[in-house]
Amino acid sequence: MIVSTTSQTFTKPLQLTPSKNKNPNNRFESVPAISLLQLCKNANELAQIHSLLIKTSLIQTPIAFNLLLSSYASSGDPGALDRARNLFDRADFAPSSFLYNTLIKAYTNHGYPIQAFIFYTQMLCQSSVLPDRFTFTFVLAACSRLCDRFLGKQVHAQMVKRKDFYGVHSRNALMGFYVKVGEVGMAAKRVFDEIEEPDIVSWNCLLDGYVRGGEVGAARKVFDEMPERDVVSWTTMLVGYVDAGMLSEGWDLFGRMPERNVLSWSAMIRGFVSAGRSREALGVFKDMEVSGVEMDKVTMTSLLSACAGLGALDQGRWIHSYIDKHEIDVDAHLSAALIDMYCKCGWLDVGLTIFRESLDKKVFVWNAILGGLALHSRGKEAVGLFLEMLDSGTKPNEITFICVLSACSHSGLVDEGLEIFQSMEADHNVRPTLEHYGCMVDLLGRAGLLNDARRLVETMPMEVDGNVLRALLGACRIHGDIELGVQVGKALIELEPLNDANYVLLSNIYALANRWEDVGNLRRIMKARGARKRPGCSSIELNGAVHEFIAGDCSHPQSEEIYKLIDEMAEHLLWA
């Protein structure tokens, strides 16, 4: 018989009798067949030792039986858990709480929490075995996976009856369950208050509960009261600030962290990206590089979004190279982020290549490439890809239709857009939203069908918003429909009196008709209402650095040379 391990191969007959020199209280310590169980790396090796234990009758000893069952239960090989259960069912002696706990934990970890709880109920029906201090921890983990309040509270009731059988670890698991089901302020806090000496896990669990519930004030109070904090404590509080949009407070906390892990960096980067502050996100990334922290998929996804927002192609390509160099598995989320980055940075063909090579084309991956095609006004390709998506069996969602309708709008595909819009609810059970109606108004308006666009606005089944009216007003400006443009512009200003873009659009309509007096009156109204025109802003990436320019701004270190070059260009254009 041959049993292979990572370090050696055993070909000699195994010694099956304990050595006299070993500890008499651990008489199986020197039996290779038992000690090798802890070295097994796969189901094949386990099966070999299992056979040997049967042949030598060691399988009838509790220590060998327990170790073998535990090895099967903790193995990640398919079918190993079934072997563990079959072994349990054929036991020649009454199973202990250790064996029940092992299988309850294994079923939960393998994604079968219902089976874990059923096994726990079978345990309760046995008069010869009782739950121990580990049982409730594993059972509550199953209840948390199920997110089942009723089952979890049943376990809590059983814990109350057996106060001597559980300690702080079980209470922490109970707190974790209540946090998972959203009962923090009452249930989880009450359990926490019952712990005589809460450990760092207890405090972190309570802190996490308040953060998950969006109670940032209560979370900060817990954070300040903690007798000690670890990196989990700091990161959890940071996530609370980021998720609440409190980036100033989050940035201050981030700066005071004694230790940062990849989750801390990712949270700060994600916060800046979500707030549209891509420049700050890339700045945090550069600091992260200097600190030597390796990026994970979440961090890379956020960074790619930041690169897409700024058009920072060089940095986006560097991240892509990092993924390839470290052989990181490109899942659906990372594929979508790469596609979006390349499309928004002008490299649509690279985005298409990544899409075609993606093995897991979830709906948001299709949406990413459809949005890229729309951005580049390649409507016919977008419609063709949409039909390919339907043929693949992928169900479109609301964003899918926004991308396709936008592509049709930018390419003048009126008939195709109308057909897709009408099929949304009828064929795909997706009810059109304001964004979809906005796309259709833009589609009809760009094609010059202003009356049809107006009728669509008037017959919408929901209240019109500024985006829909701006789409119609923009179409009026393009096609010179002054009368309709003035009507829509006035309605838009009444709806959003502080949005400077509305005044600019209506002013352009007046200017087209040479109604300069109305232009002047509009500017006075705008000034009286405090609606200030935001200066134009543009950015460019050069040698990996993103430079941002605002109209009339001189803060750039090379602004003098830039303005001088602009004047020279203008002079050449004047005499060209």
pLDDT in tens, 351-399: 999 999 999 999 999 999 999 999 999 999 999 999 999 999 999 999 9
Residue 45 lies inside a defined structural domain of this protein: yes
**Mean pLDDT, range 123-152, rounded to an integer:** 88
pLDDT of residue 27: 46
| 313 CB-near residues (< 8 Å, 6+ apart) | 307, 342, 345, 346, 347, 541
Percent of the chain at pLDDT > 90 equals 48
For 316-358, the pLDDT digits (tens) are 999 999 899 888 889 999 999 999 999 999 999 999 999 999 9
Task: Compute the distance between CA of residue 376 and CA of residue 393 in angstroms, rounded to an integer.
Answer: 26
Residue 9 lies inside a defined structural domain of this protein: yes
DSSP 185: I
| 331 CB-near residues (< 8 Å, 6+ apart) | 297, 360
Domain range holding 559? 540-575
Q: In the structure encoding, which two tokens stand for residue 431, read together?
A: 């009810």
pLDDT-derived band at 26, boundaries 50, 70, 90: very low
Helix (H, G, I), strand (E, B) or coil at 540: strand
pLDDT-derived band at 8, boundaries 50, 70, 90: very low
Closest by CA position to 205, among listed 249, 244, 236, 227? 236
pLDDT-derived band at 527, boundaries 50, 70, 90: confident
Lowest mean pLDDT among 71-80, 104-113, 139-148, 454-463: 71-80
Average pLDDT over the chain, rounded to an integer: 85
Residue 23 lies inside a defined structural domain of this protein: yes
For 147-170, the pLDDT digits (tens) are 888 888 988 888 888 766 577 888
Long-range Cβ pairs for the range 243-246 (8 Å, 24+)? 243/211, 243/214, 244/214, 244/216, 245/271, 245/274, 245/275, 246/216
Domain count across the chain? 2
Closest by CA position to 549, among listed 541, 539, 559? 539
pLDDT of residue 532: 62
pLDDT at residue 543 above 70?
A: no
Q: How many CA atoms lie within 13 A of 91 on its CB side?
A: 18
Closest by CA position to 418, among listed 368, 452, 468, 390? 452
Task: Compute the distance between CA of residue 433 and CA of residue 462 in angstroms, rounded to an integer.
Answer: 8
**Mean pLDDT, range 52-65, rounded to an integer:** 83
pLDDT of residue 332: 94
Residue 88 lies inside a defined structural domain of this protein: yes
Residue 560 exposed, middle or buried by CB count within 10 Å (0-12, 13-18, 19+): exposed
pLDDT of residue 417: 95
pTM above 0.95, yes or no: no
Task: Compute the distance between CA of residue 66 and CA of residue 8 in angstroms, rounded to an integer.
Answer: 25
**pLDDT higher for 550 or 20?**
550
Residue 36 lies inside a defined structural domain of this protein: yes
pLDDT of residue 20: 44
pLDDT at residue 470 above 70?
A: yes
pLDDT of residue 382: 96
Percent of the chain at pLDDT > 70 equals 87
pLDDT-derived band at 504, boundaries 50, 70, 90: confident
Q: In the structure encoding, which two tokens stand for residue 5, read together?
A: 């391990």
Q: Determine contact, residues 56/64, Cβ cutoff 8 Å.
A: no
**Which one of 66, 93, 120 terminates a domain?**
93
Instruction: Tell me the backbone φ, ψ of residue 548, rounded to 5 degrees.
Output: -110, 140
**Mean pLDDT, range 210-217, rounded to an integer:** 93
pLDDT at residue 205 above 90?
A: yes
Residue 51 lies inside a defined structural domain of this protein: yes
**Which one of 62, 93, 124 terminates a domain?**
93
Instruction: Tell me the backbone φ, ψ of residue 377, rounded to 5 degrees.
Output: 55, 40
Helix (H, G, I), strand (E, B) or coil at 155: helix
pLDDT at residue 23 above 50?
A: no
pLDDT of residue 116: 92
Lowest mean pLDDT among 197-206, 251-260, 282-291, 374-383: 282-291
Lowest mean pLDDT among 23-32, 140-149, 480-489: 23-32
pLDDT of residue 51: 84
pLDDT-derived band at 468, boundaries 50, 70, 90: very high
Residue 13 lies inside a defined structural domain of this protein: yes
pLDDT-derived band at 210, boundaries 50, 70, 90: very high
Residue 328 lies inside a defined structural domain of this protein: no
pLDDT of residue 65: 87
**Mean pLDDT, range 102-129, rounded to an integer:** 90
Q: In the structure encoding, which two tokens stand for residue 460, read together?
A: 């919408």
DSSP 187: I
Lowest mean pLDDT among 10-19, 225-234, 266-275, 351-360: 10-19
**Which one of 49, 69, 93 terminates a domain?**
93
Helices of type H across 345-433: 348-357, 363-375, 379-391, 398-411, 414-428
